[in-house]
Amino acid sequence: MNFIKNKIVTIFGGTGSFGKAFLNRAIKLPFKEIRVFSRDEKKQDDLRLLLKNPKIKFVIGDVRDSESVLEVTKNTDYAFHAAALKQVPSCEFYPLEAVKTNILGTSNIISCCIENKVKKVVCLSTDKAVYPVNAMGMTKALMEKIAISKSRNTSNTETKICITRYGNVLFSRGSVLPRFINQIIHKEQITITNPFMTRFLMTLDEAIDLVLFAIESGENGQIIIPKTSATTIDILSKALLSIYNQSPSKIKIIGTRHGEKLHETLMTSEEQILSTSFKKYFSINTDNRELNYDLYFNKGEKKLINQEDYTSLNTVQLNLQQTIKLIKPLINGFENI
At 185-214, the pLDDT tens digits run: 888 888 988 999 999 999 989 999 999 999
Least confident range of 20-24, 105-109, 295-299: 295-299
Which long-range contacts does 287-293 make (Cβ < 8 Å, 24+ apart)? 287/148, 288/152, 288/155, 288/221
290-333 residue pLDDT tens: 667 776 667 666 665 667 899 999 999 999 999 999 999 888 65
What is the structure's pLDDT at 332?
66
Cα dihedral 128, 174, 258, 238 in deg (nearest 10): 100
242-286 residue pLDDT tens: 998 876 668 888 888 777 889 999 999 989 888 999 999 999 988
The half-sphere exposure of 332 on its side-chain side, counting CA atoms within 13 A, is 6
> The domain at 2-167+203-226 falls in which architecture?
3-Layer(aba) Sandwich (3.40)
Counting DSSP H helices and E strands in the chain, the numbers are: 13, 15
Task: Give the 3-state secondary structure percentages of the chain, helix then strand then coil, rounded to 5.
Answer: 40, 20, 40
Cα separation, 91 vs 137, whole angstroms: 9
CB atoms < 10 A from the CB of 22, how many? Answer: 24
- The mean pLDDT of the chain is 90
- Domain limits of the chain? 2-167+203-226
Q: What angle do CA 146, 206, 176 make, to 5 degrees?
A: 85
From the candidates 128, 140, 150, 238, give the one annotated as an active-site residue: 128
Q: Decide if 128 is catalytic.
A: yes
Cα separation, 260 vs 332, whole angstroms: 29
